[in-house]
Structure 1
Amino acid sequence: MRTPPLQVRALRGLLSALIATLASFAAVAALVTAAPPARADTTICEPFGTTTIQGRYVVQNNRWGSSATQCVTATDSGFRVTQADGSVPTNGAPKSYPSVFNGCHYTTCSPGTSLPARLNTVSSAPSSISYGFVGDAVYNASYDIWLDPTPRTDGVNRTEIMIWFNRVGPIQPIGSPVGTATVGGRTWEVWSGGNGSNDVLSFVAPSAISSWSFDVMDFVRATVARGLAEDDWYLTSVQAGFEPWQNGAGLAVNSFSSTVQTGTDPGPDPDPDPDPGEPGGTACEVSYGTNVWQNGFTADVTVTNTGTAPVDGWRLAFTLPSGQRITNAWNASVTPSSGTVTATGVAHNARIAPGGSLSFGFQGAHGGTFAEPDGFRLNDAACTTA
């Protein structure tokens, strides 16, 4: 076979190189064309409008306390408040709670969430948050944790835990201060109360925290220890956002993450009230005496340890009948002021010796027909009544 001239061979080489280069450009162009476009930010101005970010969290405008316009813009990692007109009095409820959440809230559940989850099946719930603050508004930066005795996905839960990362202006949590606590390695001022629909336990930072990674279950366990939830209740949602009273444009959740790690559900406890001598067992008797007058009453409560072991760090839980509210107490701390309350010992009576007893009391207000509570539980074990 005859070999082509040198000039022809060179030309063929150049053509081959050109074809390869054009093919490369075509491949790159195909990749660029096939790549999905960047997600555009979504702005929500409807009072209860929502959108999904990262395919796993829900951003909600949640403007419920004002008719003034509020808009939030959801980003790939969080949201920012882009318009926050109007104001409400600082001695009342805020005008909204723009936030991002994992879980279920008023029938809206985030995609793929593992919530609601029973508390005694949750090993940890790691979360992280980064806030963007402004100085020309009255607001708090609040992380909300919702708990309920049932795995509900709608309506109001029984207990709300609020973590105040920052507060600006003359505002305060629901209820009254009940001391301090160390949770997650930080010291918090603790407030306890109720808003008429649910119990609220608030942990207030002494100074602003702009970002933090922590375990949600640290705050849940602290709440259970105070008698405002039980281990067989459910974690329904975790939320990060703001409660503005005045203005609020520019506030931002720069980033948010939430994971709930669960194990195997242990199922119903076949013996929820262990007998004396069993692990966790407590034997007790409660005497509840009252002095009642129109719209008011006092209660004298005596707790007797009928077991053979001392009871340290005692907590007596019971539910006040509807319409009753505690105004002050002595020889114990009793919180919240209504609904399911928990009395805890103070420094001089934190232990009940075997066969021993202690007394505490409180004054309260009531409306309608007066009734006495029942179902007393000492450190989570049922007591008999005298």
Structure 2
Amino acid sequence: MRYAHTQLLIGALLALLAGCLFAAPAQAAPVLCDKYASTTVQNGRYVVINNVWGADTAQCIDVNQNGGFTVTQAAHNKATNGAPASYPAIYAGCHYATCSTGSNLPMQASSSAFGSLRTAVSMTYPGSGVWDAAYDIWFDPTPRTDGQNTGAEIMVWLNHTGSIQPVGSQIGTVSLAGGTWQVWYGNIGWNVISYVRTSPTSSIDFTINTFLSDAISRGYAQRSWYLTSVQAGFEPWVGGAGLAVNSFSFGSGGGTTDTTPPSTPGTPNAANTTSTGTTLTWGASSDNVGVTGYDVLRATGSSAFSVVGATASTSYTDSGLTPSTTYRYRVRARDAAGNLSPESAAVTVTTLSGGGGGGCTAVATTQTQWQNGYVIQPVTVTNTGSATKNGWTVTFTLPAGHTITGSWNATLSVSGSTVTARNTGSNGTLGPNASTSFGFQATRPDGNSQVPSGYTCA
């Protein structure tokens, strides 16, 4: 049995597909040769990924801004009883925290708008190599925009060569979308349902619900789950140059537009408030289609509320706050069509006084983060006292599984989950109201979105 599909080993091998894996969006028509390079096309409507996740051999794709790409170089030579070398693809929706524009995904499959979702693709195949040409359609029990989906992965194989086959075993045959398909099923931590066309085709146009309904009828998917992304591309084992997506589309096939916003969320409650952070929880919103997430808004003093974070759950931890400071929070809900609920009533939170001798604060800013790492910079250390201080120490909590890989303008030591940062010889003396800063970089487990918290200064 060979293990084949876009993310067969997604949990380990594709966790890099966020942050550093994704290149900055571009509106030119680039040639992508880096293993995990990506770009957007049609002004962000779709994302194209090179995605050489299963090999170290060279692969390049020439991106077509009209909505496709061509594999121009592929030096793969993998055994056909194992995983493929890559999955160059174009997609709509959200995949490992990179989302296309205007897809309205994630979308719950029980929504009225879901039934009208359609996709179409046209492909070109070379006369050599070992590969499959397949859709990869992902569902999750939650409106996930990052990390590994855990519901169902529906693969639609338009064509394939050689002795390769989908994950699992064949369980039946079905007529759908103008063709006859072998149905395969396997579970690798989530359900993989593959439809292999018995007579190859180079193009197809179908509603997403066509294949999902069949999967649901077999007990392998649920109507309550959310469609997160629709991807079309190729899995090459040997060669692959000449494989091309000529055109790709995804969108509504004429269903009614959802203009109804979610209901107002419950008033937030604050708990576990420290000198630099607090955790908020609130009552869920309801929606005629489905709530996809919440925005958290914050204000201090007389300033206006502004968005400081987003979450798919009904809780959020805000960190990097200033000790002895009063904040106000509100939340609002979002649905798959982008409708926003009214903002909730506000909760007022006052952080505790700064630790370690008073008159010293440490406020951290997350400069950038990706799927398995982040950079915290600056961590601003301020002498809030009336006298000059000689030397400072900042402590904070490092989440489980995280590892600091570098730092600057401070000396860092780690004991368990506690990190201690001490001044260097050049930035230890701070006059009244004077500040200095340091920074660090760290790695984290795949799919973990946490950053350090609980910064205190002495």
Distance apart, 1:185 and its partner CA: 3.3
Partner of 1:228: 220
Equivalence map 1:137-176=2 (5 Å): 137-158=129-150, 159-176=152-169
Match for residue 69 of structure 1 among 58, 78, 85 = 58
- Whole-angstrom CA distance in 1 between matches of 2:177 and 2:244: 24
State the SS of the aligned residue for 1:103.
Answer: strand
Q: Which structure has the larger Rg over C-alpha atoms?
A: 1
1:136 aligns with 2:128: yes
- The separation in 2 between residues aligned to 1:234 and 1:218, in whole angstroms, is 15
What's the counterpart of residue 249 of structure 1?
Answer: 241
Deviation at 1:40, TM superposition (A): 4.7
Give the SS at the match of 2:110.
Answer: helix
State TM-score, norm by structure 1: 0.57
Shift of 1:186: 2.2
Q: Deviations over 1:116-144 (max 9, x none)?
A: 00001112211110000012110000011
Distance 1:267 1:85 in 2: 46
Select the residue among 115, 122, 137 that pairs with 1:123: 115
Q: Does the aligned pair in 1 maintain the 2:54–2:85 contact within 8 Å?
A: yes
User: Do 2:180 and 2:199's aligned partners in 1 also have CA atoms closer than 8 Å?
Assistant: no
Equivalent residues in 2 for 1:294-313, closer than 5 Å: none
1:84 matches 2:74: yes
Q: State the 1:267 CA deviation.
A: 6.5
Count matched residues. Answer: 229
Q: CA deviation at 1:145?
A: 0.6
C-alpha separation in 1, matches of 2:53 and 2:75: 13
Q: One-letter code of the match for 2:224? A: D
- Give the partner amino acid of 2:222: E
Q: What's 2:186 paired with?
A: 193
1:181 aligns with 2:213: no
User: What is the DSSP-based 3-state SS (H/G/I as helix, E as strand, rest coil) of the residue aligned with 1:223?
Assistant: helix
CA distance in 2, matches of 1:103, 1:75: 19
Native 8 Å contact 1:175 1:192 kept in 2: yes
Amino acid at match of 1:115: L
Tell me the residue number matched to 1:205: 197
Structure with a larger share of its residues in helix: 1
Q: 1:190–1:204: 8 Å Cα contact kept in structure 2?
A: yes
Task: Tell me the CA shift for residue 266 of structure 1.
Answer: 3.5
TM-score between both structures, scaled by the size of structure 2: 0.48
| Alpha-carbon displacement from aligned partner over 1:222-264 (angstroms, at most 9, x marks no partner) | 1111111211110000000000001101100000000045656
Q: CA deviation at 1:79?
A: 0.4
Question: Offset of 1:179 from its aligned partner?
Answer: 0.8
**What is the root-mean-square deviation of aligned Cα atoms in Å?**
1.6
For residues 316-352 of structure 1, give each alpha carbon's deviation from its aligned partner in whole angstroms, at most 9, with x where no partner exists. xxxxxxxxxxxxxxxxxxxxxxxxxxxxxxxxxxxxx
The residue matched to 2:115 in structure 1 has which SS? strand
| Residue aligned with 2:47, SS | strand
Aligned to 1:49: 37
Structure 1 residue 71, shift from structure 2 partner: 1.1
CA offsets per residue over residues 74-102 of structure 1, 9 Å max, x none? Answer: 10220011111122110011111000000
Alpha-carbon separation, structure 1, partners of 2:148 and 2:77: 25
CA contact (8 A) 1:81 1:251 kept: yes
Q: Kindly indicate whether the alpha-carbon contact (under 8 Å) linking 2:117 and 2:207 is maintained by their aligned counterparts in 1.
A: yes
Gap runs ≥5 in structure 1: 1-38, 269-386
